[in-house]
Amino acid sequence: MSSYILRRLFLAIPVLLGVSILVFSIVRLVPGEPARAMAGPNATPQFIAQIAEELHLNEPLHVQYGIYMRNLLQGDLGRSTYFRRPVATVLGEKFPNTLRLTITAMFVATVLGMSAGIVSATKRGSILDNASMLGSLIGVAAPVFWLGIMFQIFFSVRLGWFPSGGMEGWQSYVLPSLTLGMASAALISRITRSSMLEVLRSEFIVTARAKGLTERVVIFKHALKSAFIPVVTVMGLQFGTLLGGAVLTEIVFSWDGIGRLMVDAIQNRDYPLVQGAVLLLAVMFVLINISVDIVYAWLDPRISYSSREGE
């Protein structure tokens, strides 16, 4: 498996290289002079020239990209033009907040989604099944910002159970985690239901029931592990999606994370910070996908990585 992991890491290099080229190009294709846009409308010519010199904006594009990649390989993401600090330092302060929110949202999505999917599969055609599928449809269709505002109105304004924003105490995690995790919970629920229904029709489940095993043992010891394999794929992709898609949730709940930071960076034309944030999220997404493949081997030893290496 170690050779497969190394191969996956090696194949991730072109992906990250493509992301860096794409972000680098888009930032510099913005209409107008990048240095003037970053400096602001009231900046002096001296300050504009200083920014252009710091970011090598007077050089040809291929030279600029070469300098950017050289610094990147040395661990230098550049310097934020708005915060006037290294990009790595700014991201290091904000990223843990987004990571904690994403982990709690993923926990909510997994618990709600798998519970609903298992109940729906084992009670197929019942009221619980129909209610679960209706809830999944609503969860996928409801816009994140609308759902967050509804949670604020009901749980914060009317009931006063949880704060409407901020990052003080565990209570502040509840509403943002629910808001961010509802769509993923709906998707996990549907995948879990579909996978469980397929596994429950398998011959080894029929054999387990014929041996006189209780339904609880059949479901949670035999069926769930086999049904969990496709769910892992969805969970891994959803974790990466939540990590990069927390922008609206962080804005609605005044969450001081990387999503809100990216919005501020775009508004202030802080292009080095935008580049660094997007590259960080791309790296995390690639690492999450590799981690999902590793979990496959733990769940199902029949998966052969040596055969994949020969493909």
Question: What confidence tens digit (pLDDT) does each residue in 189-230 have?
Answer: 888 888 777 777 777 777 777 777 776 777 776 677 677 777
Q: Could you tell me how many helices (H) and strands (E) the chain has, helices first?
A: 15, 0
The predicted pLDDT at position 308 comes to 45
- Rounded-to-integer distance, Cα 38 and Cα 268, Å: 7
User: Is the predicted pLDDT of residue 138 greater than 80, yes or no?
Assistant: no
Mean pLDDT over 146-168 rounds to 81
Measure Cα distances from 237 to 21, 69, 241, 243, 250 in Å.
Answer: 23, 28, 6, 10, 20
How far apart CA 8 and CA 11 sit, in angstroms, is 5
pLDDT for res 174: 85
pLDDT, tens digit (0-9, with 9 covering 90-100), for 100-111:
888 888 888 888
Q: Which of 79-88, 96-105, 134-143 has the lowest mean pLDDT?
A: 134-143
Counting residues of the chain whose pLDDT is more than 70, the rounded percentage is 84
Q: What is the pLDDT of residue 307?
A: 44
pLDDT at 132: 76
The predicted pLDDT at position 191 comes to: 82
Model pLDDT, residue 309 = 45
Q: What is the DSSP string of 152-219?
A: IIIIIIIS--S-SSS--STHHHHHHHHHHHHHHHHHHHHHHHHHHHHHHTSHHHHHHHHTT--HHHII
The mean per-residue pLDDT over the stretch 297-304 comes to 58
Structural domains in the chain, sorted by start:
96-301 (1.10.3720.10)
Query: Mean pLDDT over residues 165-190, rounded?
Result: 82
Portion of the chain with pLDDT greater than 90, in percent: 0
- What angle (nearest 5°) sits at the alpha carbon of residue 299, between those of residues 297 and 302? 55
Helix (H, G, I), strand (E, B) or coil at 86: strand
| 58 compared with 311, residue with greater pLDDT | 58
Task: Encode 103-139: b = buried (16+ Cβ within 10 Å), e = exposed.
Answer: ebbbebbbebbbebbbbbbbeeeeeebeebbebbeeb
CA 13 to CA 186: how far, in whole Å?
A: 33
Asked whether the predicted pLDDT for residue 302 surpasses 70, the reply is no
pLDDT score, position 31: 61
SS3 79: strand
Average predicted confidence (pLDDT) for the chain? 77
Closest CA to 57 of 17, 45, 275, 49: 49
pTM for the model stands at: 0.74
Average pLDDT, stretch 113-141? 78
C-alpha–C-alpha distance, residues 216 and 223, integer Å: 10
d(CA 42, CA 202): 70
CB 152 within 8 A of CB 176: no
Q: What is the pLDDT of residue 310?
A: 42
Residue 239 vs residue 296, higher pLDDT: 239
